[in-house]
Structure 1
Amino acid sequence: MRILVVEDERLLCDGIAEDLRLEKYTVDCCYDGPAACERLFVEPYDLVVLDLNLPGMDGLELLRHIRTEQPELRVLILSARSQLSDKVAGLDLGADDYLTKPFALEELEARVRTLLRREFRQRESLVQVGALTLNTVTREVSGRGEPLPLTPREFAILEHLMLHRGCWISQEELMEHIWEADANPFSNAVRMHISSLRKKLRKRLGHDPIQTKVGRGYRLAGEETA
């Protein structure tokens, strides 16, 4: 899952991003409205954490753009504007949630989980492929019933493959959905993390469920077709 944090207080923005990365999300930061607007329309995101007092473009104006161009994109407003009228304005413009400052990171994490859980409203919170089970709520994965410790990047790759099980996923798509916007698209980062993930899966499952096809990318297969 990929999140964009839009907040002009750099220390706060970077702190939120780091906290969410520890929760195994891919996170980008923007510190003003115009930069966020530009990035939102060239990069795919699952959620935007949006401050309202932004230089260059007010957060509510940015929200209007989002709802016009990407009506399904989830938006969590994070603002010091605590008046009821501000909350009503934000929610009426299409925000999915509104959290006032100051706030506890634990509450922010819970609200992010709740909003992203809507991705699975037509599915169970437990995604299973073969002997692998991924909990979209606790952000944990197990193999053959035992916890499978993964790095945040390994988890994100496996999550993407499990959510798109049976589909070929290109290296470019993994870079687009899992790496930050400033990542080098010509690096071998995807192959390195896939290799590390495969070793852990092979050790836990006794086989490698990740299939590779030249020109197509990667696909996760169940045990019966691995």
Structure 2
Amino acid sequence: MAAVMVVEDDPATAAAIAAELVGRGHDVTCAATGGEAIERALERPFDVITLDRMLPDTDGLAVVERLRRAGVGAPVLMLSALSDVDQRIAGLRAGGDDYLTKPFVPDELAVRIEVLLRRTRPERETVLRAGGIEMDLIRREVRVDGALVRLLQMEFRLLEFLIRHAGHTVSRRTLFEQVWHYHFDPGANLINVHVARLRRKLDMQGRTSPIATVKGEGYRFDAG
């Protein structure tokens, strides 16, 4: 999971980008203006920023230059309908790390972000290993004792979150907010169903699931 800020003033485009990235397990924050983008980037660290060139209050080049002067080192993927070579060069010289011309396919944007993450993150942050389980966060693959286990999107995100907090009890509220991005309890047995399904898939390899239920509190991943 990566923290991505999407800077885009068109609501439909921002929603399409966010949906693609959330679907791949990323934590997405949106900003509609350059000023808002700078404010958010200075409030918290992001792993990647997608930045539209044409914003209502300023040019994207001014935004990336401001971020670099402020010491924000997150890779920036510039997005623009301006496709000539000089415009692309200007974006890269201003501090951008990649340049994607509009219109684009959301899947291509997601892959470009994954490439930027591979460049900037060491392997220990893109491959998680615990209790005989290996998670490749770029390829979106999970292996148990070397055997490939196919997980659905939310199962993958749930397992990643639990592994990153191995040894600690994680409450249901935390899972709702951090994995499902709900700020309320949707009721039913949403988490119970996903945990049960995840356990069954991990048990398929003859290994007892490392996901323990802590009665009245939540769940804990025991790495063993």
Per chain length, whose mean CA-contact separation is higher, i.e. which structure has more relative contact order (CA < 8 Å, sep 6+)? 1
Q: Deviations over 1:144-185 (max 9, x none)?
A: 524242333x423432444x46575876987887566xx53x
**% identity of equivalent residues:** 34
How many aligned residue pairs are there?
214
- Aligned twin of 1:24: 25
- Aligned twin of 1:13: 14
In the TM superposition, residue 44 of structure 1 has moved relative to its aligned partner by: 3.8
Helix, strand or coil at the partner of 2:43: coil
The one-letter code of the counterpart of 2:63 is L
In the TM superposition, residue 79 of structure 1 has moved relative to its aligned partner by: 0.8
Q: Deviations over 1:58-82 (max 9, x none)?
A: 2122212322334331210011122
The alpha-carbon distance between structure 1 residues 111 and 127, as it changes in their structure 2 partners (threshold 3 A), is: same
In the TM superposition, residue 139 of structure 1 has moved relative to its aligned partner by: 1.6
RMSD: 3.4
Q: Deviations over 1:13-44 (max 9, x none)?
A: 21122122222223232222222222223344
Residues 91 and 97 in structure 1, CA contact (< 8 A), matched pair in contact too: yes
Helix, strand or coil at the partner of 1:149: coil
Residues 7 and 50 in structure 1, CA contact (< 8 A), matched pair in contact too: yes
- Aligned twin of 2:153: 151
The alpha-carbon distance between structure 1 residues 60 and 219, as it changes in their structure 2 partners (threshold 3 A), is: farther
Residues 20 and 107 in structure 2, CA contact (< 8 A), matched pair in contact too: no
Structure of higher CA gyration radius? 2
Q: Distance in 1 between matches of 2:76 and 2:174?
A: 23
Q: Distance in 2 between matches of 1:60 and 1:95?
A: 8
- Aligned twin of 2:4: 3
- Aligned twin of 2:36: 35
Normalising to structure 2: TM-score of the pair?
0.75
Larger displacement relative to structure 2 (112-121 or 11-20): 112-121
Residues 8 and 32 in structure 1, CA contact (< 8 A), matched pair in contact too: yes
Is structure 2 residue 138 aligned with structure 1 residue 134?
no
Q: Distance in 2 between matches of 1:175 and 1:47?
A: 24
Q: Distance in 2 between matches of 1:50 and 1:86?
A: 14
Q: Distance in 1 between matches of 2:111 and 2:19?
A: 16
In the TM superposition, residue 56 of structure 1 has moved relative to its aligned partner by: 1.6
Is structure 2 residue 209 aligned with structure 1 residue 200?
no
Structure 1 residues 66-105: aligned runs within 5 Å: 66-105=67-106
The alpha-carbon distance between structure 1 residues 197 and 78, as it changes in their structure 2 partners (threshold 3 A), is: same
Unaligned runs of 5+ in 1: none
In the TM superposition, residue 50 of structure 1 has moved relative to its aligned partner by: 0.6
Unaligned runs of 5+ in 2: none
